[in-house]
Structure formats: C-alpha cells, structure tokens
Amino acid sequence: MPRLTSLWNLANPTRFLGLADRLLPWLAALAAVLLAVGLYLSFFVAPPDYQQGETVRIMFVHVPAAWLGLFMYVMMSASALGTLVWRHPLADVAQKAAAPIGAAFTFVCLVTGSLWGKPMWGTWWVWDARLTSVLVLFLMYLGIIALWRAVDDPARAARAVAVLTLVGVVNIPIIKFSVDWWSTLHQPAAVFRIDGPTIHPSMLWPLLVMAVAFTVLAIALHLAGMRNEILRRRVRSLRLMEAEQLDAGVEPAAGAAR
Amino acid sequence: MNDPHTGFIVASYALTTLVVGGLVLRAVFDHRALRRAIAQLEARGVRRRSARREKAR
C-alpha cells in the first residue's frame, strides 16, 4: 500500500510544510502562465457569440468560478470523511483552508452570473433552482467559516464542521442536475454532457484552459492556506506553552503573597 | 471591444481580479505574519518539544 503509506507520511506537519514550500512556487508559476494563455484565448481568439455578442466572454470567468465553488466543497467533504472516519491529522487543516477559497469562487460565480444575466435575461436575479441552489452553497460556506470561528479548540471545531459539511453535500448533485430536474432560466449543461459538449471548439478551448488555470490557482491557494493553518496552530500551541511557563514562574510568588 | 454591454464584461473581470488578488494577498501576508510570530516566540525561548529534541541531537 505505498500510496496510503505516503499519505500518512504527510500527516507529519513538518514534512508537509517542506513539501508545500517546494511545490508552491511551481504551482504559482504554472497558474500565472495558464491564466495568461487563457485570458489571451478568451479575449483575442474566441469569437463573439452569434446571439450574445461580446457578453459571452463573461463565461470564461463565470464557469471556472462555478466549477471551483463545487470542486472545493467536494474536497471539503472528502476531508470531512478524513476527519471523522480515518482521523487523518491534516484532514481538518485541509477542510478549514478550503472554505474561504470555495466561498470566494462561489461569490465570483454568483456576481458574474448576475452581471451576465442582466443584459441576456433582462434581470439580475431569479429564484430558479440553479441560482437558488448556488446561493445555498455560498451560505453553507459562510456557515462553515462561522462555525470554525465559533469554537476555540480546533479538534472540537473540526468534528462539528465535518458533520455540517457532510450534511451540506446533498446540495452538490442538486446544483449539478437542477437545470435538468426543473424548468430554469439558467441554460442546461453545455460542457459535461453524455453526448459531448455543445459549445463550438473556438470557445470550448479557451474555456477549458481558463478552467485548468483556475483549478491550478485554487490548488496553490489551498496548499498555501493549509501551510498557514499549520503555522497558525503552531503559534497557538507556542503561546499556550509560553503562558504555562509564565504561570509556572508566577505561582510561587503568588503563593508567597498569601 | 465595441459592445453595448462592455460595462458588464469589464465589471465581471474586475471583480474576479479583485477577489482572486485578495485571496493571493491574504495567503502571502498571513504567511509572513505567522512566520514573524513564530520567530518572535522562539526568540523569547519558547520552542516546540520536537524542535527542542531536534536541537539536542
């Protein structure tokens, strides 16, 4: 079981920090190059849509943001299982670091969708199944972030957040299939379909490059977030140790004063 | 780009840049602040048990 063993080797925070330090510059550089290529393709290679005109260019940020909103939540759910079932020491670190990133991309998805909807649908917002379920996803992220902040002890917070995350995972298939199950103003899936994408390759390729660029960026941000969370916990435990040492030094004097 | 909806496109890309830029800056500044805090604590003689063991070897 070499793969499982290596996953458990990474449970050592110091070893994980070393790996993150080595990987992050490469991931950041790759994300920057992919974003530059993706933006070039989105603005200078992809043609205007025959119906939507230039407005279709909003798709190149809206769709990758939506994809990452879902991706980060699925990752958080896998980490929640890691916390509750396998008790992997870094599972809750991964879960905590993913929440703000997922929330940010879901926020981008909602606002760019609104900015796309106004000129195309004639409205900023409708309470249809797709839009509402994505709003619920955003509220789930905010609830999870709030719960992390509400409980002081990271281990206790991790278990509560893991349960909440797993309850919320039911929303993911609802978001994906909402456009098929209900009559919505939002268009049906155009990329991930059983019968293949319905977008012309001249728009599909820029979209895929942007999606990969956003994904690499999100992975880099997640790794950086995990590294920061490990350091934050280290600062917390060092401060507790310092407080204990100070307490131990003060005790005798306090006793003598009695 | 001569389109009646240019403002919507610019706003979408500006917001995305702002949010993604914010995430990147948050990660960088957070990391610097945490490294500084650890260095200050260690300078005051507070060390993790594992760090003390490593130093003793």
* DSSP class per residue in A18-48: HHHHHHHHHHHHHHHHHHHHHHHIIIIISPP
* CA–CA distance, A194 with A191 (Å, rounded to integer): 9
Average pLDDT over residues B29-49: 89
Residue contact B3–A58, C-beta within 8 A: no
pLDDT given at position B47:
79
Tell me, what's the ipTM? 0.86
The chain B residues in contact with chain A (CB within 8 A) are 1, 3-6, 8-9, 11-13, 15-16, 19-20, 22-24, 26-28, 30-31, 34-35, 37-38, 41-42, 44, 46-48, 50
Residue contact A228–B31, C-beta within 8 A: yes
Instruction: List the structure tokens of A42.
Output: 């989105």
Residue contact B8–A116, C-beta within 8 A: yes
Which pTM value belongs to this model? 0.88
* CA–CA distance, A26 with A32 (Å, rounded to integer): 10
Cα distance from A126 to chain B (closest Cα, Å)? 18
Note whether A38 and A213 are within 8 A (CB).
Answer: yes
* Residues in Cβ contact with A77 at an 8 Å cutoff, skipping those fewer than 6 apart: A165, A166, A169, A172
Note whether A91 and A82 are within 8 A (CB).
Answer: yes
Residue contact A115–B8, C-beta within 8 A: yes
Whether the per-residue pLDDT at B54 is higher than 80: the answer is: no
Share of chain B above pLDDT 90, in %: 60
Of B56 and A59, more confident:
A59
What is the pLDDT tens value at each position of chain A, 258 positions in all? 455 556 666 678 888 899 999 999 999 999 999 999 999 999 999 998 888 888 999 999 999 999 999 999 999 999 999 999 988 888 999 999 999 999 999 999 999 999 999 999 899 999 999 999 999 999 999 999 999 999 888 888 999 999 999 999 999 999 988 888 877 777 777 777 767 777 788 889 999 999 999 999 999 999 999 999 999 999 998 998 888 888 887 543 333 333
Whether the per-residue pLDDT at B37 is higher than 80: the answer is: yes
CA nearest to A231, candidates B42, B44, B52, B24: B42
Note whether A185 and A126 are within 8 A (CB).
Answer: yes
Within 8 A of A53 by CB-CB distance, chain B residues are: 3, 5
Of A56 and B47, more confident:
A56
* Residues in Cβ contact with A63 at an 8 Å cutoff, skipping those fewer than 6 apart: A191, A207, A210, A211
Of B51 and A143, more confident:
A143
Residue of B nearest to A56 (CA): B9
Within 8 A of A231 by CB-CB distance, chain B residues are: 31, 34-35, 38
Within 8 A of B38 by CB-CB distance, chain A residues are: 231, 234-235, 238
DSSP calls for A170-227 = THHHHHHHHHHHS--SSPPPSSS-TT---S-HHHHHHHHHHHHHHHHHHHHHHHHHHH
Of A45 and B4, more confident:
A45
Length of chain A as a residue count = 258
Cα distance from A195 to chain B (closest Cα, Å)? 30
Tokens 């890691």 locate to A82
Length of chain B as a residue count = 57
* CA–CA distance, A6 with A172 (Å, rounded to integer): 30
Within 8 A of B5 by CB-CB distance, chain A residues are: 53-55, 119
- The burial of A48, by beta-carbon neighbours within 10 Å (0-12 exposed, 13-18 middle, 19 or more buried), is given as middle
Number of DSSP helices (H) and strands (E) in chain A, helices first: 8, 0
Domain boundaries of chain A, sorted by first residue: 24-192+199-232
pLDDT given at position A206:
93
* CA–CA distance, A77 with A63 (Å, rounded to integer): 21
